[in-house]
Chains A and B, each alone.
Chain A
């Protein structure tokens, strides 16, 4: 299994600023992802974090707004740039690991972001 930690756990930010969220996995994983969960809604995939190359973004998400890094197999960052109140969400890091012989997707505790 994989245990995922995120920093910060929550933050309150001003409009126009940027916040970088860190994600650390306690074991090597094949894939890492970033999700957004807007208030009262389900999870939406932002992008797949690729090691050593540019992230793969889903429709509606762009690198300029959500730059992502993954310098090694166990660490990734997501930056929310030029924030607006509409960016207030929970941001979750996820990783694809192995539970027994099965692939399982694990999730971090999330980063609660409030933009004023």
Chain B
């Protein structure tokens, strides 16, 4: 069984300051982990993914995440927030091996607000 917990339902930062969105996961196997972003009235967009390669994963728009197996965490960070980063962010886990049926388990989401 797999699960994912996003520790903060809302995060508010000032423009130009760092962003940290926290995610912990549980998986019976070696998991694949993803961060998706959902802007208002738009579809989900993949930010980045970890699939057992480098533990520090760089994504689009300056975001990155570090896979820490000992802490079962996959926190999302960005050095400097931009107003356009305001959105809902979902941490997602999948423990199905590549090539098999893949089902994603979504976290509850973190709403990021960026203040001017």
Binding site for B on A (CB under 8 A): 4, 31, 33, 41-45, 48, 92, 96, 102-110
| Contact call B106/A102, Cβ cutoff below 8 A | no
| Contact call B43/A108, Cβ cutoff below 8 A | yes
* B46 on the A face (CB < 8 A): yes
Task: Please judge, given known A-B contacts A102-B51, A103-B98, A104-B49, whether A92 and B104 are in contact too, CB under 8 Å.
Answer: no
| Contact call B107/A107, Cβ cutoff below 8 A | no
Task: List residues of chain B with CB within 8 A of the CB of A48.
Answer: 101, 103
A58, closest chain B residue (CB): B103
Q: A42-B109, A103-B98 are in contact. List 18 more A-B contacts (CB 8 A).
A: A31-B102, A41-B109, A42-B90, A42-B107, A43-B44, A43-B90, A48-B103, A92-B44, A102-B49, A102-B51, A102-B98, A103-B99, A103-B102, A104-B46, A104-B49, A107-B43, A109-B42, A110-B43
Task: List residues of chain B with CB within 8 A of the CB of A102.
Answer: 49, 51, 98
One digit per residue, 1 when the CB lies within 8 angstroms of any chain A CB and 0 when it does not, for chain B 77-116 equals: 0000000000000100000001101111011110000000
Task: List residues of chain A with CB within 8 A of the CB of B98.
Answer: 102-103
Number of cross-chain contacts by CB at 8 Å? 44
A96 and B108 alpha carbons, distance in the complex (Å): 22
| Contact call B102/A41, Cβ cutoff below 8 A | no
Binding site for A on B (CB under 8 A): 34, 36, 42-46, 49, 51, 90, 98-99, 101-104, 106-109
| Contact call B101/A109, Cβ cutoff below 8 A | no
A33, closest chain B residue (CB): B103
Interface centre among A41, A44, A45, A105 (most CB of B within 10 A): A105
Task: List residues of chain B with CB within 8 A of the CB of A105.
Answer: 34, 46, 102, 104
A96 and B99 alpha carbons, distance in the complex (Å): 10
A33 and B43 alpha carbons, distance in the complex (Å): 15
Task: List residues of chain A with CB within 8 A of the CB of B45.
Answer: 107
A102 and B103 alpha carbons, distance in the complex (Å): 15
